[in-house]
Amino acid sequence: METFAPTERTTLKRLAKRGNFDRHVVYGILDEAFICHVGFIVEGRPVVIPTAYGRVGDRFYLHGSAANRMLRTAETGVDICVTVTLVDGLVLARSAFHHSINYRSVVIFGRALVVEDSREKFEALRSFTQHVVPNRWSDVREPTDSELKATIVLYLELMEVSAKVRTGPPIDDEEDYAMPVWAGEIPLRLVAGVPIPDPRLAEGIDPPQYVSDYSRTVPDGDPT
Burial class (CB in 10 A: 0-12, 13-18, 19+), 122: middle
Q: Is 220 a residue whose pLDDT tops 60?
A: no
For range 13-19, the mean pLDDT? 76
Q: Is 221 a residue whose pLDDT tops 90?
A: no
In the predicted model, what is the mean pLDDT of the chain? Answer: 91
Q: What is the pLDDT of residues 187-214, one digit of tens each?
A: 999 999 999 999 999 999 999 999 999 9
Q: What is the pLDDT of residues 55-113, one digit of tens each?
A: 999 999 999 887 777 787 888 888 999 999 999 999 999 999 999 999 999 999 999 99
In CATH, which of 2.40.10.480, 3.40.462.10, 3.30.70.360, 2.30.110.10 is domain 16-212?
A: 2.30.110.10
- CA dist 109 and 13 (Å) reads 16
Percent of the chain at pLDDT > 90 equals 77
Cβ 128 vs Cβ 120: under 8 Å = no
Give the pLDDT of residue 223. Answer: 41
Residue boundaries of the structural domains of the chain? 16-212
pTM of the model: 0.89
